[in-house]
């Protein structure tokens, strides 16, 4: 008696996956993909004999070739880079240090400290900028009086009004506001390390900072990498704090001007400066390319070589 072969059943089409993903894809396309390509497309147009027409890369040639445009662009790019460097060198190391301290099971009131440090993160940029302008004001701010109370009044200066100090001051204000994000991410990564690994390290005599640097730090490097790229993207998209604190002109004398404020003035115009959507789109395109290059370097040059541990 011969057995008859049954035809192989085709895998069922999982239409429910498309149904569940469709709302998110539609919303993301409407508010991200379409505006992105619209901006890239608009950067290739400009006025021709009084009418809007296709000009190719002329806007980018103007941005880099015209001394007035190029000076503003390179100044904003350098300020943005310095803004990012301060966050990388100050915010992230402090976040790692705070996470290491708060992960100590012997520390009392850990929940209170975590909440107190994270609260500024949920505050509005408008509130943060306005409050710190009041604090640092040389006329009615409390910073001069606080330094005077401890005999250090001579250290105070109107930092937000000095070209050499304004950007660094605002970067440190931003660090104060957002240090809770790397702290919580690193804290979660430290808690995910199995107790067996920590106990084995203690048996081998590794405790305190030696245990952190030799055992815990290598295990959380992937999380630190993610925090670094999030810091990069967030800082090169920065705008709100500078605008609230220093205005669209990003004073004094453009010393706090970053790509976001330059884009705003160029696209929408400000005071006597008329808006130019095409040049504004060219600046936005350069911001997109800078972020794309930075993210690509991390994803393909760093993350692929980073060792990951499975627990």
Report the CATH number that the domain containing residue 74 is assigned in CATH: 1.10.3720.10
Q: What is the 3-state secondary structure (H, E, C) of 257-310?
A: CCHHHHHHHHHHCECCECCCHHHHHHHHHHHHHHHHHHHHHHHHHHHHHCCCCC
- How many other C-beta atoms are found inside a 10 Å radius of the C-beta of residue 237? 15
| Domain-embedded: residue 87 | yes
Return the pLDDT at 77.
97
Quick check: is 208 in a domain? yes
The predicted-structure confidence for 221-274, as pLDDT tens digits, reads as follows: 999 999 999 999 999 999 999 999 999 899 899 999 999 999 999 999 987 778
pLDDT of residue 297: 92
- CA–CA gap between residue 79 and residue 95 (Å, rounded): 23
Q: Is residue 95 part of a domain?
A: yes
The per-residue pLDDT for 5 is: 56
pLDDT number for residue 236: 95
Cis omega before residue 252 (within 30°)? yes
Could you tell me if residue 82 is inside a domain? yes
At 308 the pLDDT is 64
Within-domain flag for 9: no
Residue 84 confidence (pLDDT): 97
Q: Are 97 and 245 in contact (CB under 8 A)?
A: no
Confidence (pLDDT) at 132:
94
- Taking the C-alpha atoms of residue 57 and residue 285, their distance in angstroms, rounded to an integer, is 12
pLDDT at 10: 65
Residue 21 in domain? no
Q: Is residue 51 part of a domain?
A: no
The DSSP annotation for the chain comes to -PPPPPPPPPPPP-HHHHHHHHHHHHHHIIIIIHHHHHHHHHTTEEEETTEEEE-TTHHHHHHHHSHHHHHHHHHHHHHHHHHHHHIIIIIHHHHHHHHHHHT-TT-TTHHHHHHHHHGGGGS-HHHHHHHHHHHH-TTT-SHHHHHHHTT-GGG---GGG-TTTHHHHHHHHHHHHHTHHHHHHHHHHHHTS-HHHHHHHHHTT--HHHHIIIIIHHHTHHHHHHHHHHHHHHHHT--HHHHHHHTTTTSSTTTT--HHHHHHHHHH-BTTBPP-HHHHHHHHHHHHHHHHHHHHIIIIIIGGG------
pLDDT beneath 70, residues of the chain: 1-12, 307-311
- Tell me how many domains the chain contains: 1
The answer as to whether 18 is a domain residue is no
CA dist 157 and 134 (Å) reads 14
The whole domain housing 243 covers: 58-305
Q: Are 270 and 249 in contact (CB under 8 A)?
A: yes
């Amino acid at each position: 008696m011969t057995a008859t072969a049954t035809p192989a059943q085709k895998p069922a089409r999982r239409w429910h996956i498309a149904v569940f993903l469709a709302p998110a894809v539609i919303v993301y396309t409407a508010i991200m993909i379409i505006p992105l390509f619209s901006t890239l497309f608009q950067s290739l147009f400009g006025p021709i004999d009084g009418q809007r027409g296709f000009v190719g890369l002329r806007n980018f040639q103007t941005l880099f070739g015209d001394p007035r445009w190029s000076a503003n662009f390179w100044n904003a790019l350098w300020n943005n880079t310095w803004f990012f460097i301060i966050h990388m060198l100050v915010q992230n190391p402090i976040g790692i240090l705070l996470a290491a301290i708060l992960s100590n099971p012997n520390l009392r009131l850990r929940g209170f400290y975590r909440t107190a440090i994270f609260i500024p993160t949920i505050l509005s940029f408008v509130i943060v900028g306005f409050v710190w302008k009041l604090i640092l004001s040389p006329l009615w701010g409390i910073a001069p009086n606080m330094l005077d109370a401890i005999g250090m009044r001579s250290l105070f200066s109107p930092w937000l009004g000095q070209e050499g100090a304004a950007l660094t001051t605002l970067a440190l204000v931003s660090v104060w506001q957002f240090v809770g994000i790397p702290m919580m991410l690193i804290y979660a990564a430290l808690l995910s390390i199995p107790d067996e690994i920590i106990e084995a390290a203690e048996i081998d005599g590794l405790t305190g900072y030696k245990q952190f640097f030799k055992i815990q730090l290598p295990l959380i490097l992937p999380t630190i990498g993610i925090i670094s790229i999030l810091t990069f993207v967030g800082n090169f998209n920065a705008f709100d704090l500078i605008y609230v604190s220093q205005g669209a002109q990003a004073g004094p004398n453009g010393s706090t001007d970053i790509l976001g404020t330059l884009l705003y003035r160029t696209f929408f115009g400000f005071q006597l400066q008329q808006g130019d959507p095409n040049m504004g789109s060219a600046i936005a395109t350069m911001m997109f390319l800078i972020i794309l290059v930075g993210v690509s370097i991390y994803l393909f040059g760093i993350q692929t070589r980073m060792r990951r541990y499975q627990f």
